[in-house]
Chain A
Amino acid sequence: MGNKVTCLGEGETMTQVNVVVTLKPTLLDAQGRVVQDALHTLGYAGVEQVRIGKYMELQLDTEGKTAEAVTAEIKEMCGRLLANPVIEDYRYEVVK
């Protein structure tokens, strides 16, 4: 791997990362259940489950950082603050 962040185009220094945090599947999602009930009330009887999560867009200054370093930093931010590993899972995508 080179020294440049592979997800960036030529001359770009900003990277957008979209993070989605959801409650672990084993936990009851009380909000999701309310929304599911509301959808049933509206006649959408086929809605088997609704899970509500959080969506965050991060703009990162990634100038001079390797892709590995950026990935490690995203995971660290998710594990320390953006998600609580006790109750939540996270996933993210790096957008240009």
Chain B
Amino acid sequence: MSTLALPERTTPAGARSLKFAIIRFPGSNCDQDAFYVVQDVLGMSASYVWHQETSLKGYDAVLLPGGFSYGDYLRTGAVARFAPIMDAVRAHAERGGFVFGICNGFQVLCEAHMLPGALVRNEGCKFLCKHVHLRVENADTPYTSAYKKGRVLRIPIAHGEGCYVCDEATRQELESANRILFRYVDADGKESAAGNPNGSVGNIAGIANAGFNVIGMMPHPERASEKILGSADGRGIFDSLVSTLLAVTK
């Protein structure tokens, strides 16, 4: 895990309530799920930030939620990438701040070149909405420290364009730097074609940038953070992030 400098906070450090910005684009539709997890499950502070805004001052972490920003016109995330708020998202990341893209948020981060590669149409062309199994590939990151390496998580996916692709050099770089955080596996935790729902290169489900402060994943941990929803396996990602933030903002 790398040392991370945090952006300037307006919340007094003693308050211990971390502030999460949830970016809303026209067409975001998992923003309320993310808000609920941050506020009601984690007990932290959540705020919606409209795409036309230009500042993220005072926020500890930024969440780019799932959905169909700008109707997925042209390519998923292609138009959202140029939304006014994205300059602030990029600046937040460049200061070492945490940026977490889920599903469409992952697509936006790839289009913005804040994460390498791209998401294309699922191999089977179907929109997939089901629980899948993920294996934690690197548990030594700000987003995965609550897990043990190799743990298999059951988390839902809901996407039509979730097939992760990148060139061979990028893939090797992701592999060698342990930047692949999650891989699609079968129920036994084995990497297999059957366990790969969308044809992603190397069964890749989630990756980090070189600084491990920006991550993106296609599966929806915010839909799997309470047992009543069928799985609480995704909560560890949020718990990891909160622990990391509390440790560095002491």
Q: Which residues of A contact B (CB under 8 A)?
A: 23, 27-28, 30-31, 34, 54, 81-82, 84, 86-87
Closest chain-A Cβ to B226's Cβ sits at a distance in Å of: 34
Q: Does B86 contact A (CB under 8 A)?
A: no
Cβ A82 vs Cβ B74 within 8 A: yes
Report the bound CA distance from A9 to B118 in whole Å: 41
Report the bound CA distance from A23 to B119 in whole Å: 12
Cβ A30 vs Cβ B75 within 8 A: no
Q: Of the listed stretches B7-15, B58-66, B122-130, name the one at the interface; the rest are far from the partner chain.
A: B122-130
Interface size class of B (residues with CB under 8 A): 20 to 34
Q: Which residues of B contact A (CB under 8 A)?
A: 74-75, 78-79, 82, 110-111, 116-118, 120-125, 163, 165-167, 199
Tally the A-B contacts, defined by beta carbons under 8 Å. Answer: 36
With a cutoff of 8 Å between Cβ atoms, the chain A residues found around residue B123 in the complex are 28, 30
Cβ A23 vs Cβ B74 within 8 A: no
With a cutoff of 8 Å between Cβ atoms, the chain A residues found around residue B74 in the complex are 54, 81-82
Told that A30-B125, A86-B165 touch, could you supply 13 new A-B pairs with CB distance under 8 A? A23-B120, A27-B120, A27-B165, A30-B121, A30-B124, A30-B199, A31-B121, A31-B125, A81-B78, A82-B74, A86-B110, A87-B118, A87-B165
